[in-house]
Amino acid sequence: MTRAWISAGSNVDRELNVRRAIRNLRQAFGELVISPVYRTPAQGFEGDDFLNLVIGVDTELDPEELRKRLRDIEDRQGRVRGENKFASRTLDLDLLTWGDLVDEAQGIPRDEILKYAFVLKPLADVAPEECYPGRGETYARLWADFPHKDKLLPVTI
């Protein structure tokens, strides 16, 4: 089994879609590690705030198969894909890491971990002593050094 970290976000029927995502991931993978949920402004477009969190799953699926499973869950929850990468969505599930794998061609680890507070902070919450693959720095250390912490608002759903 390999631990994979997945970011989850929604800005359309946010609470409902986050709850459904957790339920669907639990049905697919069993026990989950679930971070706190944060509300953040939409980035790259005008839209409602997002709810974001990180979810850990243990899986025997390879990264490609895991991404297919995540896409199926998004589709079942009404995800509409358009030309614009930055748009409102019912659910966005992104594979962040897959064990210690470093594979630039597959985008693993996902560079959003180092760019966005709404990805790094939840990882630091649930896996503070885990290291970013290929760098040897823990998520707690990366978060301590992160410059843009001001737009995260913890929420309870």
Point out the residues that are catalytic.
Answer: 79, 89, 92, 94
CA distance 33 to 5: 9
Q: E-strand spans in 1-156?
A: 2-10, 33-34, 37-40, 50-59, 92-98, 153-155
Residue type at 62? D
Q: How far apart are CA 106 and CA 101, in angstroms?
A: 10
Tracing tokens 């953040």 back to the chain, one arrives at: 40
Other Cβ atoms within 10 Å of 7 Cβ, number: 23
